[in-house]
DNA sequence: TTGAAAGCGCTAACAG
DNA sequence: CTGTTAGCGCTTTCAA
């Protein structure tokens, strides 16, 4: 093993002081030309690289951004991260990612480990468990420590910081309207329990769209899924419930699912029951992911523009990082758009 | 903003020396009971948390593991990370993830930023570009610095370290045999260019299976895809090529694709040509991902057991971290298994 | 133009 | 039982 060379060693070897070496390596005008060349040559030869830990201990700056997301399998999060990475790279920041696995405890641990020393700022999408507990102490404490946090997608109004979201209500409205404009009248909503903010908001959008189109709300047409983790077992559960409602309400002619897993499940149940898509039932999902693209029929979806979200979040963060004076907190809303595919006509 | 309290401040406030405070907080038996209680109470009151940067500067230990993967959208990588996370958590390690985006340069930068200070060891799946360039200086240099690296899935024999792989040749053989046992004789292989080690090995497995079953190899039945990134455009390209071969060779009755994107593309082309799956053509993919599960027909696949790979990699890493004496490098091979679904009968 | 010294927050050997 | 001191690698002020 070849230990990394330090300033001290260079200094000793070349008979300069540590500070001279340090300055020479930073090309400080204080240092004489030959000292500089000699030191720089030696450093290059031995492949000197400053020890970042020591640097952060001094500067409290790491030029890296931490991202905490609930899980990796969602295409949406992948997209967001691509957006973050692109922007960060342009600005000379590095990105590291941590997973909360939808767990409150893991989220707390992740923040703790990242916060001291590893990162300058954080971009977070809250875990379901955190949303359920409504405990944001770890977030607020971090902000208090002057580590900027940007929340995206899964946010809470009980945290004061910059946020990037899509207009979930509007997106859900668009989706529902899309089905209504296709002549659908009896639209099944597959959503999450209310504590998941996005589920909640999308439900609101659905209800608003119905109201605006003078369609009476039938609460039997709303399936609220308790989704802590999307395990094989739970998937099966969801399908069961969709199946039941489908049996109960034979006049259903549209389905709006608040994510693509639910939408895909709906597709599956529909096909199993030999119901023609989109002729008999039109289906629309939320989140433009791999499943939607590759499903058969391919799924019409509300595209969340994950990459834009990531870019915006990263931009807000870096702005805040460069402005120690207090800019007021902002909430940016990213437009959604409908990606029309085979599952709706 | 509320700055984090330090040992120094506690010491001053309570009129002890810094080292006494340090020891008291670690419950050292050296320290008197009342000093201890007083200090601990004060620390708790002011929510003292040790500064990890300072700690790593001393110990050169961070208790965190870095993972570098080429991209996030692959379900396989997500699975591996789940495996890593689970095992790491059990052992008291934290995990941070970085993306290379299949880029050599990004991989180098990621390693550099992680290596100093952020992590104790690294688990990496090499980027395609790195594999193409065959430049492993950054990896070898890191190992030289005594930062253990475990390579998984996308590895190279030019790097000496622990590795975790599946038996790609064997897996591909299983897949091909699966089709042959279904009575297929003319099997199309959709694979990558040879520099991607996994593609290469799977091609070998395919060829071996044919040989063992006395089926003559027809190189026209092999499509090698140049896949740097799986963009929308490239996907289209792949479909085109499959389509051409299908036209050219009308007797094709089986398709083996070395990943699920290719398999899904094959499905799509087949359906477009009104070819019945699995009656006329059986299809099998590699990697048990979301697409395979949700496609129609659902895809039979070779399951790579990503979670097991992750667990094994993490185990090897932590073992090495705890054993400064040199254990010889190992290469662990994880079993594959066929997950039978609708696309093959 | 160069260097000594202090300090970032913490640990640990050693002294008292 | 408690404190002094040196040191991890680096930057920066101040003095020479």
Q: Quickly state the pLDDT bin for B138 (edges 50, 70, 90).
A: very high
Q: Which of A78-87, A128-137, B279-288, B316-325 comes out lowest in average pLDDT?
A: B316-325
Mean pLDDT value across residues A23-52: 88
Is pLDDT at B116 greater than 80 in this prediction? Answer: no
> B49 in contact with A at a CB cutoff of 8 Å?
yes
Quick one: pLDDT at residue B294?
Answer: 82
Is pLDDT at B224 greater than 90 in this prediction? Answer: yes
Domains in chain A: boundaries: 1-50, 53-165+309-334, 168-304+338-344
Mean pLDDT value across residues B47-65: 85
Quick one: pLDDT at residue B1?
Answer: 60
Q: Quickly state the pLDDT bin for B62 (edges 50, 70, 90).
A: confident
* CB spacing of A81 vs B73 below 8 angstroms: no
Number of C-beta neighbours around residue B232 at 10 A: 8
A218-268: pLDDT as tens digits: 999 999 998 656 677 888 889 999 999 999 999 999 999 999 889 999 998
* CB spacing of A145 vs B110 below 8 angstroms: no
Nucleotide C7 C1' to residue A58 CA (A): 9
Q: Which of B74, B95, B116 is the best residue to mutate to test the A interface, defined by the most A CB atoms within 10 Å of its own CB?
A: B116
Mean pLDDT value across residues B139-165: 93
Is pLDDT at A326 greater than 80 in this prediction? Answer: no
Helix (H, G, I), strand (E, B) or coil at A323: coil
- In CATH, what is the architecture of A53-165+309-334? 3-Layer(aba) Sandwich (3.40)
- Which pair of tokens denotes residue A339? 């990606």
Domains B53-165+309-334 and B168-304+338-344 share a fold: yes
- Residues B84/B95, Cβ–Cβ less than 8 Å: yes
Q: Quickly state the pLDDT bin for A155 (edges 50, 70, 90).
A: very high
Helix (H, G, I), strand (E, B) or coil at A254: strand
Quick one: pLDDT at residue A296?
Answer: 82
Is pLDDT at A324 greater than 70 in this prediction? Answer: no
- Which pair of tokens denotes residue B142? 């890191």
Q: Distance between CA atoms of B142 and B127, rounded to whole angstroms? A: 16
CB crowding A282-318: b at 16 or more within 10 Å, else e = bbbbbbbbbbbbbbbbbbbbbbbbbbbbbbbbbbbbb
Residues 81-140 of B with CB under 8 A from A: 81-82, 85, 89, 94-99, 101, 106, 109-110, 112-114, 116-118
Place domain B168-304+338-344 in its CATH homologous superfamily. Response regulator (3.40.50.2300)
Is pLDDT at B124 greater than 90 in this prediction? Answer: yes
The DSSP letter of residue A290 is H
Q: Distance between CA atoms of A149 and B2, rounded to whole angstroms? A: 15
- In CATH, what is the architecture of B1-50? Orthogonal Bundle (1.10)
Mean pLDDT value across residues B168-195: 95
Mean pLDDT value across residues A160-168: 95
* CB spacing of A96 vs B116 below 8 angstroms: no
Q: Which of B84, B294, B299, B343 is the best residue to mutate to test the A interface, defined by the most A CB atoms within 10 Å of its own CB?
A: B294
Average pLDDT of chain B is: 91
Quick one: pLDDT at residue A247?
Answer: 93
In this complex, the residue with its CA at the shortest distance from the C1' of nucleotide D3 is B17
Mean pLDDT value across residues B2-31: 88
């Amino acid at each position: 093993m070849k230990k990394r060379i330090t300033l001290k060693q260079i200094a000793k070897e070349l008979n300069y002081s540590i500070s001279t070496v340090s300055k020479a390596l930073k090309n400080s005008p204080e240092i004489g030309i030959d000292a500089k060349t000699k030191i720089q040559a030696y450093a290059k030869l031995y492949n000197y690289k400053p020890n970042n830990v020591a640097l952060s201990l001094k500067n409290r700056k790491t030029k890296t951004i931490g991202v905490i997301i609930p899980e990796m399998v969602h295409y949406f999060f992948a997209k967001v991260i691509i957006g973050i990475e692109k922007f960060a790279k342009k600005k000379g920041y590095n990105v590291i990612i941590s997973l909360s696995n939808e767990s409150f405890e893991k989220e707390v641990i992740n923040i703790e480990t990242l916060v001291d020393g590893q990162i300058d700022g954080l971009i977070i999408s809250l875990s379901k468990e955190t949303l359920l507990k409504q405990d944001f102490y770890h977030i607020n404490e971090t902000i208090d420590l002057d580590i900027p946090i940007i929340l995206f997608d899964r946010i809470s109004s009980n945290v004061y910081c910059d946020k990037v979201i899509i207009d979930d209500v509007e997106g859900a409205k668009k989706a529902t309207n899309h089905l209504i404009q296709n002549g659908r009248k009896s639209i099944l909503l597959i959503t999450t329990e209310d504590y998941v903010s996005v589920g909640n908001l999308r439900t609101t959008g659905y209800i608003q769209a119905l109201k605006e189109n003078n369609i009476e709300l039938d609460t039997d047409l709303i399936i609220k899924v308790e989704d802590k983790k999307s395990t094989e077992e739970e998937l099966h559960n969801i399908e069961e419930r969709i199946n039941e409602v489908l049996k109960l309400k034979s006049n259903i002619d549209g389905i709006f699912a608040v994510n693509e897993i639910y939408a895909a499940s709906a597709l599956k149940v529909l096909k199993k029951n030999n119901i023609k898509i989109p002729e008999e039932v039109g289906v629309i999902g939320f989140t433009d992911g791999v499943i939607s693209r590759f499903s058969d029929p391919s799924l019409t979806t509300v595209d969340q523009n994950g990459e834009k979200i990531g870019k915006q979040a990263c931009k807000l963060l870096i702005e805040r990082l460069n402005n120690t004076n207090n800019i007021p907190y902002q909430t940016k809303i990213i437009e959604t758009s409908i990606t029309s595919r085979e599952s709706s006509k």
